[in-house]
Amino acid sequence: MQALRVFLFSALLLSLGGCGINTIPSLDEQVKSQWAEVQSQYQRRMDLIPNLVATVQGYAKQEKEVLTAVTRARSSVGGMQMSAEMLNNPEALKSFEQAQARLGGALQRLMVVAERYPDLKSNQNFLQLQSQLEGTENRIAVARKDFIESVRLYNTELRTFPGRIWHTVMYSDLPIRETYTATTENAEQAPNVQF
């Protein structure tokens, strides 16, 4: 009789492990991990900016307004702390993304300024920093895409069978996640670049 109970209990545990009971927390952790990757790429961009500003500053002293805008945007982003728990707060997520968009806009203006200075455009330090910044922007785009996909999988699991049942019974404290949305006005339109 004892052996039968142990067998039934083991069978129950095995069946629960294979029925999706662990899917929701696994997907929740994946969302948090992907958000950490987005933050990591934003931090990489933040680390590059002082070097880029210093390099441009050496050539373009009269472009103080643009350099100040980049420095201010970096400071405002640097002052924001976005933890994985804040993913449950759509307003905090939106505010964080808006600050990142302002920083991106300031960096674009800085690159336009750099076009005005032929010596700067040919400077090895500047070219290397510009290349690293472009690579970082691409990494940010990939990290955002991966985050969006993680949120999609997570939210789909919460809304479909059997995940909906597990969410109601065991994981009701885990909310539907907000996904990344473009925070820049007219983000769907390509920027007009003139030389």
Tracing tokens 């919460």 back to the chain, one arrives at: 158
Smallest CA-to-CA distance from 157 within 29, 63, 24, 8 is with 24
pLDDT at residue 136, rounded to an integer: 93
- Classify residue 5 as exposed, middle or buried by CB count within 10 Å of its CB (0-12, 13-18, 19+): exposed
CA gyration radius, the chain: 23
Where are the alpha helices (H) located in 60-191, listed in sequence order? 64-78, 90-115, 118-122, 124-159, 163-169
pLDDT digits 0-9 by tens, 6-46: 766 666 555 555 567 889 999 999 999 999 999 999 999 99
pLDDT digits 0-9 by tens, 45-88: 999 988 888 888 877 777 778 888 888 888 888 878 777 777 88
pLDDT band for position 172 (cuts 50, 70, 90): very high
Fold of 28-169: de novo design (two linked rop proteins) (1.20.1440)
- Cβ neighbours of residue 42 under 8 Å, at least 6 residues apart? 77, 100, 140
Q: Where are the domains of the chain?
A: 28-169
For the cut 50, the answer to whether the pLDDT of residue 157 exceeds it is: yes
pLDDT band for position 167 (cuts 50, 70, 90): very high
For the cut 90, the answer to whether the pLDDT of residue 155 exceeds it is: yes
Cα torsion angle, 106, 108, 114, 116, sign? negative
Smallest CA-to-CA distance from 20 within 132, 133, 131, 162 is with 162
CB 117 within 8 A of CB 59: yes
Distance CA 102, CA 100 (A): 5
Angle at 142 between CA 115 and CA 135, to 5 degrees: 30
Tokens of 141: 């785009």
pLDDT at residue 12, rounded to an integer: 56
Min mean pLDDT across 46-50, 102-106, 141-145, 187-191 is at 187-191
